[in-house]
Amino acid sequence: MKQKSSLFAKELLDEKFSEPLKNGQIDWQVVILDSPESSPLVDQFHPQSEQFVIGLRGDGVLTQWKILQPSLDLIEHKMDFQKWLKAEIKSFLNTV
């Protein structure tokens, strides 16, 4: 299930947010809970289940962020999931 939603999210970001990805406004990373390179984010956010974090980086660290937790129903439906994620990303970018 996590792989599915990560693929849906990556597809949406590549398609709808390619410029913010290129210019560093959005950073996309897959966090693997037991991976050493993911430990700073795991330590910061203490994820208990699947979640996404959108944030702004300053000096290599997240300075502002919002934790997004999709429902299981959303994760199973690509179009609904991508619509939800797109709205959440746009909302975040409009508030910072």
Give me 87's structure tokens. Answer: 């709205």
Q: How many helices (H) and strands (E) does the chain have?
A: 5, 2
The number of domains in the chain is 1
In a domain, 29, yes or no: yes
Q: Of 59-63, 82-86, 87-91, give the lowest mean pLDDT range.
A: 59-63
Reported as a single tens digit per residue, the pLDDT across 33-65 is 667 776 777 777 777 666 788 887 777 777 888
In a domain, 24, yes or no: yes
82's CB contacts (< 8 A; 6+ apart) are 8, 9, 11, 12
In a domain, 96, yes or no: no
In a domain, 11, yes or no: yes
Domain with 6 in it: 2-90
CA distance linking residue 60 with residue 57, whole number of Å:
6
In a domain, 63, yes or no: yes
In a domain, 55, yes or no: yes
